[in-house]
Chains A and B, each alone.
Chain A
Amino acid sequence: DVKVTQSSRYLVKRTGEKVFLECVQDMDHENMFWYRQDPGLGLRLIYFSYDVKMKEKGDIPEGYSVSREKKERFSLILESASTNQTSMYLCASSSRTASSYEQYFGPGTRLTVT
């Protein structure tokens, strides 16, 4: 079974703090993704990576950065957390070679910024 894990299920941070969200997948997938999920807005893509050290901006990259130093790990960084970044964050991965295009999701991290 494909497994995508996220470092925390719940996280509470203060405004201005630097926040790291970690995601690890165990299926040797090339592609990894970070989304945020908000009621009524669905899933919005923040960043994705299609290879180690490669990244591409998604639809809402402002206020976020990412790091992919190893194939299995993709980190989302909030340089200076703000209250409008309170949200559910979902990580996903997929194979670049598989013709199914399916993405596999982690359980999510619910981040609260106070």
Chain B
Amino acid sequence: AQSVTQLDSQVPVFEEAPVELRCNYSSSVSVYLFWYVQYPNQGLQLLLKYLSGSTLVESINGFEAEFNKSQTSFHLRKPSVHISDTAEYFCAVHVLTGGGNKLTFGTGTQLKVEL
């Protein structure tokens, strides 16, 4: 069964420093991978996704993630973080079931950006 592991529950970082949030997946079939972000007191929003093609995908606010099949990873990176990036980040993998499509989520990584 497809699953994702987020190794870090919390990542503190200073503003303008680089950050990497780690995500590893397990799947025996083709994978579709996602990163979602949840700002305080809000629902989840899609940050970026990998479906096929280029293994490096980017978001509009400077995040990027690279699909690495040999390491079964989809780590999220940003070269310089801002206070407004403080949020919880969830990695997810697509699962095809008999009834339809669903996503399996990781346990989340809380990114805290400090001055």
Contacts and interface: CB of A to CB of B under 8 A. Distances in A.
Interface of A: 4, 30-31, 33, 35, 40-45, 48, 50, 54, 56, 58, 90, 92, 94, 96, 99-103, 105-108
A23 to B, nearest CB: 11
A40 B107 contact: yes
Interface stretch (B11-19, B44-52, B74-82): B44-52
Question: Per DSSP, are chain A's interface residues mostly helix, strand or loop, or mixed?
Answer: strand
Given A44-B105, A45-B102, A100-B49, 8 more contacts: A43-B105, A48-B99, A50-B99, A101-B49, A102-B46, A103-B46, A103-B103, A106-B43
Contacts, number: 66
Query: Which residue, of B43, B97, B103, B105, has the highest number of chain A Cβ atoms within 10 A?
Result: B43
B43 A50 contact: no
B94 to A, nearest CB: 5
Contacts of A102: 34, 46, 49
A94 to B, nearest CB: 7
B71 interface: no
A31 B51 contact: no
A58 B103 CA distance: 11
Contact of B45 (A44, A45, A105): A105
B54 interface: no
Contacts of B99: 48, 50, 54, 56
B62 interface: no
16 contacts: A31-B100, A31-B101, A31-B102, A35-B105, A40-B9, A40-B107, A45-B102, A56-B97, A94-B101, A96-B100, A101-B34, A101-B101, A102-B46, A103-B44, A106-B43, A108-B42
A42 B101 contact: no
B68 to A, nearest CB: 20
B25 interface: no
A71 to B, nearest CB: 14
Nearest to A50: B100
Interface string B50-67: 010000000000000000
